[in-house]
Structure 1
Amino acid sequence: MPHARLPSADARRWWGLGFISGAVSLIVVDSTIVNVAIPAVVGDLGISSTEVQWVQEVYTLAFASLLLLFGALADRLGRRRMMTAGVALFAVASVAAALAPSGGLLILARAVQGIGGALILPTTLSLLNATFRGRERGIAFAVWGSTIGGMAALGPLLGGWLTTSFSWRWAFGINVPLGAIVIAGVLLTIRESREPSTRIDLVGSALSVVLFGTLVFGLIEGRSYGWLRSRDDISFGSFTWTADLSPIPVAFAVSAVSLVVLLLWSRHRGRAGRSSLLDLSLFRVGTFARGNVVALVVSLGEFGIILSLPLWLQFVLGFDALRTGLVLLALAIGSFAASGLAGAFSGRLPAVVVVRAGIAAEMVGIVGIAFAVGPDAGWGWLLPPLFVYGFGVGLATAQLTGVVLQDVPVERSGQASGTQSTARQVGSALGVAILGTVLFTSTGATLAASLDDQGLPAAARDEVVAAVVDSAGAAIAGFDDAGQTEVADAAAAFSAGTRYSALTAAGFLALGLIASAGLGAGRRERDERSDSVGTASPHWDSNPD
């Protein structure tokens, strides 16, 4: 009798693409949900502006520090196995974040989420690289990129609805059912792939954690501890820093030394024929090397505005979280439109042309946002530049990934994916740290100057400035409720800080556009030329389960 027909392998992998994109959605939506929910967290847990940055940064820091290690581990232990483990860990950490009773525990839960995210992202890329070929790979990357671009803006809408209608805690709790769906779908549709010969570089992994940890610590805490000289005695648990020199330059020095040692260690292992966390031989592939530089620089400015804009909308214009998410929906619409267009033109236009057009559109959009921001601004003026900005993100994200990985051998795709993802995440971490510092430092300086012009005593001026900056802008509404005249100055200062932050992001994007000038169109993908004669394929487990 005839056997029941099972879904074809071709159909299963396209379904699998949807679930892989769902895994990416988890980490992207969560990181953007938090931006909209932060004002509610500030009010509920009473966290400071420095803690606000840490809620964002500890996630990105853990993410960036472990991407290279987990990319290599995925190649050795199994890409599907690592991705599902990451989704499970991410869901568990989301529960801890939803139940956090204090800012410190929320930051700890976000760090664990970052570890889960680092397990997910490079494995999604290496699975796509191992599963799809030729023009199909371009379509798969376009879907992957549209997920990142679109969910980066749909996240605030979902987070706004959950925060306004229920609680900011549900913004984390939603990850649990979504994670369960992704795990089940991936196990049913994606075959395991791995490279058993891959070796793990533990020394390089430790050096990368120190490198990124000290760098981001210095950028975030510099305005609190002092960039050169210590402002006060600083306590780290039971240890107290009493030196006149601030710990910030020490952190930067440790980061620089770690970078040099990591490069020397990687070169040593490469010459000895041993695998290293940072495979310097990959950088001999021109598209990979130059593409990573562009990815890092562009990421410095790409999503930084998502940190400051929700704070400005809620604390200056008085929006609730849901209205904030609705405004940011314009970014999502632009990103979806552009990603669909990029997928349609995949293989017809050089990817680097699309990347440059996307970066240029991002610059135009973010400059428009900067000019639309003001204490009495109408929110409608934000919609066109947000759409243009999202359009640029949608064009650039997936195509840049394709450029970076197009000439990398499949058997090294996990490590290459981890490297390019690290470049993006390091850029994002540095961008959020720098733009957050620009936002709060310029807000404080502008407000102090304004209050000085009004003749406010120095003690009262410092108290107002500290209240606005330390609360990440939440104190502005309190001034209004108390009938204090400082509310107008505070709103204007926070608007100025948001504007300076946006212009700084545009500057980083301009540098990325300049860097892309050295990024050629590259060769067509290796497998397009060699499919007819056969190519080495990744190791596929015979049992798909």
Structure 2
Amino acid sequence: MTIPDSRRWLGLVVISVAVSLIIVDSTIVNVAIPAIVDDLGVTSTEVQWIQEAYTLVFASLLLVFGALADRFGRRRVMLIGVALFALASVGAALAPTGGLLILARLVQGVGGAMVLPTTLSLINATFQGRERGIAFAVWGSTIGGMAALGPLLGGWLTTEFSWRWAFGINVPLGIAIVIGAFFAVRESRADRVQKIDVVGAALSVVTFSALVFALIEGRSYGWWFTDEELTIGDWTWPWALSPVPIALALAVVAASAFVMWGLHRQRVGKPTLIAFSLFSLRSFRNGNIAALLVSLGEFGVILSLPLWLQFVVGFDALQTGFMLVALAVGSFAASGIAGALSGRVSPVLVVRAGLAAEIIGIVALGFAITPDGAWGWLIPCLLVYGFGVGLATAQLTGVILVDVPVAESGQGSGTQSTSRQVGSALGIAVLGTILFGSTAALLDASLADDGVPADQREQITSAVVDSAGAAIPELAADPQTADIADDAAAAFSQATRLAAWSAAGFLVVGLGATLALAPARREPAATEARAAV
């Protein structure tokens, strides 16, 4: 089917909604996590894995599907990804245990990895020059709008029906995207068909899997020596040395091998998973570094905030959704402003302004998180933070891909998306460890000051941390443990504050990384000429 050129802007909306499906699912899961904890009895480590299982597979396969999309067709791969994502959402909605929910999230990650790089490469192939900047702004604005819908929809479905419906909503969205894509999105693929680097793909999966496993499970199995036995079926980890440092070493070795193998294939003229030659482009190289660092701080804090709002402040899922809408509204408004500034202000300057706003918002957010639940101050903080996210996100994407040839847009898009997702995965893992590790340390110290015996302290601390805070309302409901609940709420609040400020620290480093990006504006003609290479 031939798609008329007049429909390409409608196709842009369909493409944007496709990637928004991923964003909506993430925001819905954030709001629904406390209900999942109550219903399935998952532990705090499983809470992180419910988030990370998706992100881990997502980050591991982005490069693979970016290259496959260039070869087999970007629209085709996107549609397969949307269908797989919707089917996996059905599995998540029906999951009877935390383990099966994590498995469904793994499959969702495969679908998401097929969607995200293809949406970016479709935009890169369809639009040129100033229109490309506008297209990326529309892409970001649509994501912002859907992000605003996600918390409300997820909160309403979770509160009025069940968290399971929060996953089921992906099915009708997926059907609408498939129909719209056939009607308005033109197929595109690379001019030259190349073989996929299977060895490179395997090494990238091993790298990301081992790294995220180590960061999440470090506090469970021990950072150096085994604190808790790792058991898989009938097999148990046999050594005193924890599996965590082994996983970290494996990640380093696999990453080194991935780079060496890719450079070798490039030298002998064979295709590589990453177009290593793209890193000779200053915008691409420095932009990817900045994207990884920024993503470390941007989204990790969203893991802790819904837990704090529901288990400490006492909000339900719908109220939490309304609170997170402030972030999405700020993002949506800023994305529109960024689109209006396209071609008038250097995209790098817009990115820096956005990061500065994010830092201000998240630092203020840390001060607003208090045990007494003075939640009203969170709204302006989230607005400012969301405004910064909206300014930075789409513009940073444009900065990274501005010099990438269309023929390599799939690999370029996959690489920058991988940088973001690796950053997000690391952010969730690191900030989740800070949240739960700090909660345990602070609560234990507080109970010790109250004269609680060591064995009781360990039992109470484990109950609060393993339940990801869900035990706090239960402790508060019993007059005999109300004082302990106050200590737990104070510890969880302070740990949430520390996670927020840690995220701000990552954003400061990310802002520093953008100083390596050239601020000068590019002429539209030069941009179009380079894009047409």
TM bucket, shorter chain: over 0.9
Q: Is the 8 A contact 2:129 2:528 kept in 1?
A: no
Note if 1:453 corresponds to 2:461.
no
The amino acid across from 1:207 in the alignment is L
SS at structure 1 position matched to 2:223? coil
Partners in 1 of 2:471 and 2:385 — Cα distance? 30
Change (3 A) 1:530 1:439: closer
SS at structure 1 position matched to 2:515? helix
The amino acid across from 1:509 in the alignment is L
Aligned to 1:139: 134
Q: 2:234 pairs with 230, 234, 238, which one?
A: 238
SS at structure 2 position matched to 1:348? coil
Aligned to 1:284: 280
Note if 1:12 corresponds to 2:10.
no
Aligned to 2:522: 524
Q: Deviation at 1:482?
A: 1.9
Q: 2:189 pairs with 194, 204, 215, which one?
A: 194
The amino acid across from 2:72 in the alignment is L
Note if 1:275 corresponds to 2:297.
no
Give deviations 1:86-113, integer Å, cap 9, x for gaps. 0000000000000000000000000000
Aligned to 1:408: 404
The amino acid across from 1:16 in the alignment is G
Q: 1:129 pairs with 124, 130, 135, which one?
A: 124
SS at structure 2 position matched to 1:229? coil
Q: Is the 8 A contact 1:37 1:168 kept in 2?
A: yes
Note if 1:344 corresponds to 2:340.
yes
The amino acid across from 1:348 in the alignment is R
The amino acid across from 1:462 in the alignment is E
Percent sequence identity over aligned pairs: 65
Q: Is the 8 A contact 2:405 2:530 kept in 1?
A: no
Partners in 2 of 1:346 and 1:81 — Cα distance? 30
Q: Is the 8 A contact 1:366 1:503 kept in 2?
A: yes
Note if 1:487 corresponds to 2:482.
no
Q: Deviation at 1:524?
A: 2.6
The amino acid across from 1:529 in the alignment is A
SS at structure 2 position matched to 1:194? coil
The amino acid across from 1:503 in the alignment is W
Q: Deviation at 1:277?
A: 0.8
Aligned to 2:216: 220
The amino acid across from 1:368 in the alignment is A
Give deviations 1:60-90, integer Å, cap 9, x for gaps. 0000000000000000000000000000000
Q: 2:498 pairs with 492, 500, 503, which one?
A: 500
Q: Deviation at 1:477?
A: 0.5
Q: Deviation at 1:233?
A: 2.8
Aligned to 1:540: none
Change (3 A) 1:530 1:476: closer
SS at structure 2 position matched to 1:198? coil
Give deviations 1:479-518, integer Å, cap 9, x for gaps. 0112212010000000011000000000000000011111
Which residues in structure 2 correspond to 1:333-482 (within 5 Å)?
333-482=329-478
Aligned to 2:512: 514
The amino acid across from 1:357 in the alignment is A
Which residues in structure 2 correspond to 1:246-261 (within 5 Å)?
246-261=242-257
Note if 1:176 corresponds to 2:171.
yes
Partners in 1 of 2:229 and 2:300 — Cα distance? 31
SS at structure 2 position matched to 1:28? helix
Q: Deviation at 1:203?
A: 0.4
Partners in 2 of 1:198 and 1:346 — Cα distance? 35
Q: Is the 8 A contact 1:150 1:394 kept in 2?
A: no
SS at structure 1 position matched to 2:236? strand
Give deviations 1:172-195, integer Å, cap 9, x for gaps. 000000000001001111111111
Q: Is the 8 A contact 1:71 1:414 kept in 2?
A: yes
Change (3 A) 1:473 1:278: same
Q: Is the 8 A contact 1:93 1:113 kept in 2?
A: yes
Partners in 1 of 2:409 and 2:107 — Cα distance? 25
Which residues in structure 2 correspond to 1:293-332 (within 5 Å)?
293-332=289-328
The more displaced of 401-410 and 229-238 is 229-238
Partners in 1 of 2:532 and 2:391 — Cα distance? 30
Change (3 A) 1:308 1:487: same
Change (3 A) 1:294 1:531: closer
Partners in 2 of 1:217 and 1:290 — Cα distance? 27
Q: Is the 8 A contact 1:64 1:425 kept in 2?
A: yes
Q: Is the 8 A contact 1:73 1:200 kept in 2?
A: yes
Partners in 1 of 2:211 and 2:135 — Cα distance? 34
Q: Is the 8 A contact 1:70 1:119 kept in 2?
A: yes
| Structure 1 unmatched ranges of 5 or more | 1-5, 537-545
Change (3 A) 1:455 1:87: same
Partners in 2 of 1:535 and 1:498 — Cα distance? 48
Partners in 2 of 1:535 and 1:476 — Cα distance? 59
The more displaced of 492-501 and 7-16 is 7-16
Partners in 2 of 1:271 and 1:239 — Cα distance? 43
| Structure 2 unmatched ranges of 5 or more | none
TM-score normalised by L of structure 1: 0.95
Partners in 1 of 2:11 and 2:324 — Cα distance? 29
The amino acid across from 1:406 in the alignment is V
Partners in 1 of 2:527 and 2:11 — Cα distance? 25
Partners in 1 of 2:310 and 2:168 — Cα distance? 23
Change (3 A) 1:275 1:258: same
Give deviations 1:4-39, integer Å, cap 9, x for gaps. xx9983430000011101101110110111011010
Q: Is the 8 A contact 2:403 2:527 kept in 1?
A: no
Q: Is the 8 A contact 2:13 2:142 kept in 1?
A: no
The amino acid across from 1:115 in the alignment is V
Partners in 2 of 1:329 and 1:7 — Cα distance? 39
Q: Number of paired residues?
A: 530
SS at structure 1 position matched to 2:163? coil
Change (3 A) 1:253 1:8: closer
Q: Deviation at 1:55?
A: 0.2
Aligned to 2:101: 106
The amino acid across from 1:70 in the alignment is F
Q: 2:149 pairs with 131, 148, 154, which one?
A: 154
Q: Deviation at 1:532?
A: 8.1
The more displaced of 474-483 and 284-293 is 474-483
The amino acid across from 2:384 in the alignment is V
SS at structure 2 position matched to 1:169? helix
Change (3 A) 1:255 1:7: closer
The amino acid across from 2:316 in the alignment is D
The amino acid across from 1:321 in the alignment is A
Partners in 2 of 1:118 and 1:8 — Cα distance? 25
Q: Is the 8 A contact 1:407 1:523 kept in 2?
A: no
